[in-house]
């Protein structure tokens, strides 16, 4: 069977790539091994009328106007501003660390403009490598040892099952620290949740006469029966090459769901638990779309080493293997594009995925 383009995976990267290729006049087949669209951003409305994010909370945020215009072609966004709290020593404290966090932790009365010097003094008490060599170095250089121990160290160990000193510094660069009272997790110009959900957004992106979709279809079972001028691959990088350089590490998650007979369970959509309990966070889903119900659904999130791959593990040994696999990708002579977090073994937010796809597919079409 022949198609102009084969797209492997119907997550954000695959859907965006398929749409751009289809709009260029190419016939595209999208294959997805899961039973549903939208990859790890998949959501659904449960029996209580609450949208559940099947693979943990996903908030769309971007400063890129081109990306924002692209996704808004297919959906309206509910104006949601994400806020996170951390359960620390019996209190719920704002996270990322901001001026209010500092005043509560240190029982002080810092004012605007004083946080920078306070954090500088906290960092000056600590010992760390400069330039940073690992996750701990980055965090301690910003907030000092005490705040690192309270908010970051144990959460990181639970999440990755690695000492923070084994994790590359790039991972910590995703964590903001505020010197004001802004308690939003993201400060991007554009933020929100698709008003009809991410799954609906994926369906609309793929709704094009040049796109054919096949769910519950594993690419590796059928790839010898398909011909295409271009294959866009969004699955695990090491699996594509039959693990020839060894397996890359991915972290997975287990979720425990509860629906409670109360309007709200916690005062924010997400509460982190860095030091207490075996879960890393609790998500209360009705916050995302402002749903009005007299019940609420929450989930407890438990990291684990095996299962559905959610996160790449940015340690030195994994990065070394990634380089070997990437060298083989470079030898495929333009017949394949490896796009997305799993295929590139790289951290991307959702907006970064869309931006990367727009750029890479654009380059391909120019060629």
The model's pLDDT over 61-70, given as tens digits with 9 standing for 90+, comes to 999 999 999 9
Task: Give the predicted TM-score (pTM) of the model.
Answer: 0.95
Answer yes or no: do 195 and 228 share one domain: yes
Q: How many domains does the chain have?
A: 3
Tell whether the model's pLDDT for residue 176 goes beyond 90.
no
pLDDT exceeding 90 applies to what percent of the chain? 95
Q: Is residue 343 part of a domain?
A: yes
pLDDT band at residue 172 under the 50/70/90 scheme: confident
Tell whether the model's pLDDT for residue 198 goes beyond 90.
yes
Q: Give the model confidence (pLDDT) of 94-141 as tens digits.
A: 999 999 999 999 999 999 889 999 999 999 999 999 999 999 999 999
pLDDT exceeding 70 applies to what percent of the chain? 100
Beta-sheet pairing, 60-62 with 77-78: unpaired
Tell whether the model's pLDDT for residue 174 goes beyond 80.
no
**Under DSSP, is residue 300 helix (H, G, I), strand (E, B) or coil?**
strand
Q: Is residue 181 part of a domain?
A: no
Q: Using alpha carbons only, what angle is made at residue 218 by residues 215 and 220, rounded to the nearest 5 degrees?
A: 155
* Averaged pLDDT for residues 144-155: 98
Answer yes or no: do 117 and 224 share one domain: no
Q: Which two tokens stand for residue 47?
A: 């029996």
How many CB atoms are located within 10 Å of the residue 130 CB?
7
Q: Is residue 183 part of a domain?
A: no
Tell whether the model's pLDDT for residue 334 goes beyond 90.
no
Answer yes or no: do 118 and 161 share one domain: yes
Answer yes or no: do 73 and 99 share one domain: no
Answer yes or no: do 225 and 356 share one domain: yes
pLDDT value of residue 292: 94
Q: Are 132 and 285 in contact (CB under 8 A)?
A: no
Q: Is residue 76 part of a domain?
A: yes
Q: Is residue 179 part of a domain?
A: no
Side by side, the strands of the sheet bearing 60-62 are 60-62, 190-194, 77-78
pLDDT band at residue 249 under the 50/70/90 scheme: very high
Q: Which of 260, 282, 304 is the last residue of a domain?
A: 304
Answer yes or no: do 218 and 326 share one domain: yes
Answer yes or no: do 211 and 342 share one domain: yes
343, 187, 75, 77 alpha-carbon torsion, rounded to 10°: 140
* Averaged pLDDT for residues 249-257: 97
Alpha-carbon span 211 to 23, nearest angstrom: 10
Q: Are 229 and 309 in contact (CB under 8 A)?
A: no
Q: Which of 141, 174, 207 is the last residue of a domain?
A: 174
Alpha-carbon span 41 to 56, nearest angstrom: 8
**Residue of 202, 215, 235 whose CA lies nearest to 341:** 235
- Name the DSSP class of 149: I
Tell whether the model's pLDDT for residue 1 goes beyond 80.
no
Bridge partners for 304 per DSSP: 252
Answer yes or no: do 6 and 121 share one domain: no
Q: Is residue 341 part of a domain?
A: yes
Q: Which of 132, 147, 174 is the last residue of a domain?
A: 174
Q: Is residue 259 part of a domain?
A: yes
Q: Is residue 327 part of a domain?
A: yes
Answer yes or no: do 112 and 69 share one domain: no
Q: Which two tokens stand for residue 364?
A: 């391909």
Least confident interval from 33-42, 57-66, 98-107, 168-177: 168-177
Q: Which two tokens stand for residue 75?
A: 């959906």
pLDDT value of residue 271: 98
How many CB atoms are located within 10 Å of the residue 175 CB?
16
Q: Are 110 and 130 in contact (CB under 8 A)?
A: no
Domain span at 157: 92-174
pLDDT value of residue 2: 80
How many CB atoms are located within 10 Å of the residue 306 CB?
8
Cα atoms found within 13 Å of the Cα of residue 26, Cβ hemisphere only: 23
Alpha-carbon span 317 to 310, nearest angstrom: 19
Answer yes or no: do 29 and 67 share one domain: yes
Answer yes or no: do 77 and 6 share one domain: yes
CATH code for position 23 = 3.40.50.720
**Residue of 261, 313, 232, 331 whose CA lies nearest to 12:** 232
* Averaged pLDDT for residues 279-303: 97
Answer yes or no: do 231 and 319 share one domain: yes
């Amino acid at each position: 069977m022949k198609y102009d383009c084969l797209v492997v995976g119907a997550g954000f990267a695959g859907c965006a790539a398929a749409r751009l290729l289809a709009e260029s006049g190419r016939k595209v087949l999208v294959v997805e091994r899961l039973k549903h669209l939208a990859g790890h951003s998949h959501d659904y409305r449960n029996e209580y009328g609450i949208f559940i994010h099947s693979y943990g909370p996903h908030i769309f945020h971007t400063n890129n106007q081109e990306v924002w215009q692209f996704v808004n072609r297919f959906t309206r966004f509910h104006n949601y501003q994400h806020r996170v709290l951390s359960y620390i020593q019996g209190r719920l404290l704002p996270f990322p660390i901001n001026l209010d966090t500092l005043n509560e932790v240190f029982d002080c009365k810092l004012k605007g403009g004083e946080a920078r010097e306070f954090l500088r003094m906290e960092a000056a008490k600590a010992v760390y490598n400069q330039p940073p060599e690992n996750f701990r170095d980055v965090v301690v250089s910003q907030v000092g040892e005490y705040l690192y121990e309270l908010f970051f160290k144990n959460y990181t160990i639970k999440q990755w099952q690695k000492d923070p000193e084994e994790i590359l510094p790039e991972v910590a660069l995703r964590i903001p620290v505020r010197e004001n009272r802004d308690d939003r997790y993201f400060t991007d110009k554009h933020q929100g949740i698709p008003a009809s959900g991410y799954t609906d957004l994926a369906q609309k992106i793929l709704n094009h006469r040049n796109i054919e979709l096949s769910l519950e279809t594993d690419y590796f079972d059928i790839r010898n029966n398909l011909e295409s001028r271009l294959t866009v691959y969004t699955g695990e990088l090491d699996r594509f090459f039959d693990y020839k350089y060894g397996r890359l590490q991915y972290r997975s998650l287990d979720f425990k769901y509860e629906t409670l007979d109360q309007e709200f369970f916690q005062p924010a959509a997400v509460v982190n638990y860095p030091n207490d309990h075996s879960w890393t966070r609790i998500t209360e889903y009705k916050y995302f779309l402002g749903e009005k119900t007299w019940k609420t659904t929450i989930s407890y999130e438990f990291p684990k080493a095996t299962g559905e791959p959610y996160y790449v593990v940015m340690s030195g040994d994994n990065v070394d293997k990634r380089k070997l696999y990437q060298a083989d990708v470079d030898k495929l002579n333009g017949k394949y594009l490896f796009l997305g977090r799993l295929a590139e073994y790289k951290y991307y937010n959702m907006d970064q995925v869309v931006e990367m796809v727009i750029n890479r597919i654009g380059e391909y079409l120019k060629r």
